[in-house]
Each structure stands twice: as C-alpha cells, then as structure tokens.
Chain A
C-alpha cells in the first residue's frame, strides 16, 4: 500500500463516522448520506496532498458539507424531510441502546428529539451537530460552514432556543392530550 493511502487511512478514515453522521443529518436519508460520504472521501483523497493543516476532521467535514450542497443543488431541491415518519429511516434515527430501560425511554424522548432536530432548517441542524455532537470550536465550525464566527454564534443561539421551544411544545402537547 502506498504511503499516501496509508497516511489517509491513519489520519482521515478515523473521522468516517463523523463524516457519515454529518452527511446523515444534512441529507436526512441514509442512502443519500452514503453517496455524499463516498463522494467526499474521493475528493478528500484526491486533495490530501494539498492538506497542510494538523486537524483532519474539520477539513473532511467541510468537504462533506460541500458535497451535500452540491448534490442538493444538482437535484434542484432542498431534500425535504419525508412526510411519512413511519419509515425505515426514522427507525434508524432512533439509536439502539444496550440497556433495555434506556432503550424504552429513548424510543419515546429520543425519537421526538431526533425528529425535532431533523425538522429544523439546515443551517441550524449543522451547527447543532458540529457543536454538540462533534464538540468542535466556533473557529472550526466557522471554517466548515464558511460563515463568520459571529454568524456561527448567533445561529447556534437561535438553533438551541428553537430546539428548546419546540421540545417544550412537544411535551406540553403530549401533556394536554393526556388530560
């Protein structure tokens, strides 16, 4: 195996889960996410010689994001959330948990949370995924999204506030229905 391939496997492929997770949250479909990740890996590999930074993850995630928007633009649509929530895709949004008790709770609260997040605008979804799931800094998120840091901060604040608001509506709605 040549040296470039070896370096790429050691430095970039550890972030394949992160790439897949971001693609999945952007595209909201596992089939589209698979295509996006493969396209992104190919582009990343071809551009790997030009990569001069130290942290591969933000670099790779920026490529994933570009591939998503290229694909979304090519299809001339913003890839809407499937109307029918009762799909295989939704089941996949609800993570498997090793603990049956946690699993029972997760199938309820977790499903709601994941659906609420999936229903948010793409600008909000991506900052939530990058900040809360990937634990990336404002600077790294700004690099990935191509937005100034101030914009990242305000999007993050609005995304968090909106998620909390919709979560409360959801919980209140359930409570009202029970009464």
Chain B
C-alpha cells in the first residue's frame, strides 16, 4: 500500500529535496512502514540496475566511424582545410631558412626515436580500452585499500595508494598489473557512476608525460607525486577526472 508521501520519498531517495524537506521525510520514514519499505525497494532496484544492468559502451568500431564522420564533416568546410599543414611551426621553419629547418628536422628525429609522450599516450589508451573490452579490468577486486595496496607489493613494481572515496562517489573497485611504456605499472581501478577510471602508476624516470590530453573522447591526466608517476584515464567528463586526481594528490604516498 502506498502512502501519500510516496512521491516525496522517491524525490528524497533521488537526492532531489533540499535539507529542510529531507529532514521532514527522514522523520516520516522513521514511523511509516510503507515508506520505509518503499525506500528499500528503490534501493534494491537501483542496486540491481547499476550492478547487473547492461551498460553498452561505444565500440571501437563506432568510435572510428564517428571519427571518420567528423573528418568528412570538417573536410567539407573548405577545399584547403585538408591541405593546411598541421604543424605550422615546421612549415614556418622551412620557409625562413636553414637553421630553423635543421632544428625542426632534429626535433622530428628526436621525436621519432625516444620514448615519447605519444607512445605513452598510445599505451595508456590501449591499456584502458583493453581493460574495458578484454575481460581484464581487475586482478584483485576489493573496495578495501588494505587488500588492494598489499596486493601490488607482490604483483607490480610500485605500490600506489588505493583509497576509496565514497563521499565523492569515486569508488575503489580493485587493482591490476599492466604494462605501460615497456614497464610494469600498478593500476588502481575506480568507478564513477557508470564510468571506469584507470589510474596507472610506475616509478618516476624523468621521461616526459602529457599534462592533460584528450583523444577520441578519452581524457588522460598525468602528474608526479614523490617517486611515482601517475596517469588517470577515463571517458568521464574532464572535470570529474580532474576531481579524482586532486583527491589522489592529497593522499600521502
């Protein structure tokens, strides 16, 4: 039997009421059995959908279709747009003399040789995508930092902090060992709403990393803390990814 307050109870459950109205509903829940049961039902329905409901992500195929689509659409805007050099500095160098040209060439050579942010980015992207599609998201499933952190000691070169942030809705779901840029990395896995965030960590070596980068709708944010280099990768909104990096930066390594 539904109580007259059922709709407001649902709004309370969905976080739609202000503090005053919430307090009224909390009092009501304390002595209305029907509404207390309703809250439990709402919670179990939500848990079932969030845990078991199929969240169908965009496939790599769809992502490349979308990318092609945008290429065609942007290509349409002007005949020359496809021919305008992407790296203006390089062409400027070509145009203004030998020395800049040589520098540009040296730069190209350097970029071609070294372990580069590009290679790092590509590795991070493929490790992240692999974790989503290849049934290899977590090796140790736990929301308990006292389980995840020691697990790394035996399985990775570093043992980064693995902290659950329930209040901010960044839920620790586990850890995994992975390879990035030819090194073993420890990966702390978070869930934020429907999104997975992989936080990669490895011993800092002074090689360059991007600061913040967006590729194909995925964001990558990197930072250093103590002896460790970190990169967080996800398809959440950039603000939401950066909020997690701020939380992690505040954690003592």
Contact = CB atoms under 8 A, between A and B. Distances in A.
A18 interface: yes
B208 interface: no
B210 interface: no
Contacts of B65: 34, 38
Nearest to A135: B193
Contacts of B41: 160, 164
B52 interface: yes
A79 B137 CA distance: 34
B29 to A, nearest CB: 16
Interface string A39-66: 0011001100000000001000000000
A134 interface: yes
Interface string A108-133: 01100110010000000000100111
A9 interface: yes
Given A92-B54, A98-B137, A17 B74 contact: no
Given A17-B58, A114-B53, A138-B14, A41 B235 contact: no
A133 B49 contact: yes
B101 interface: no
A104 to B, nearest CB: 13
B52 A109 contact: yes
Contacts of B225: none
Given A10-B214, A33-B56, A42 B73 contact: yes
A113 B53 contact: yes
A99 B194 CA distance: 18
Given A10-B214, A132-B50, A134-B194, A160 B45 contact: yes
Interface of B: 6-7, 10-11, 14-16, 41-42, 44-46, 48-50, 52-59, 61-63, 65-66, 69-70, 73-74, 77, 81, 86, 133, 135-138, 141, 193-195, 214, 216-219, 235-238
18 contacts: A4-B74, A13-B66, A16-B58, A16-B235, A20-B59, A21-B57, A25-B56, A34-B59, A38-B65, A46-B73, A92-B54, A92-B56, A94-B54, A95-B54, A113-B53, A128-B49, A132-B45, A163-B45
Closest 6 pairs between A and B when the two form their complex, measured CB to CB: A13-B217, A110-B52, A24-B56, A20-B58, A98-B137, A132-B49
Interface of A: 1-2, 4-5, 8-10, 13-21, 24-25, 30, 33-34, 37-38, 41-42, 45-46, 57, 92-99, 106, 109-110, 113-114, 117, 128, 131-135, 137-138, 153-154, 156-157, 160, 163-164, 167
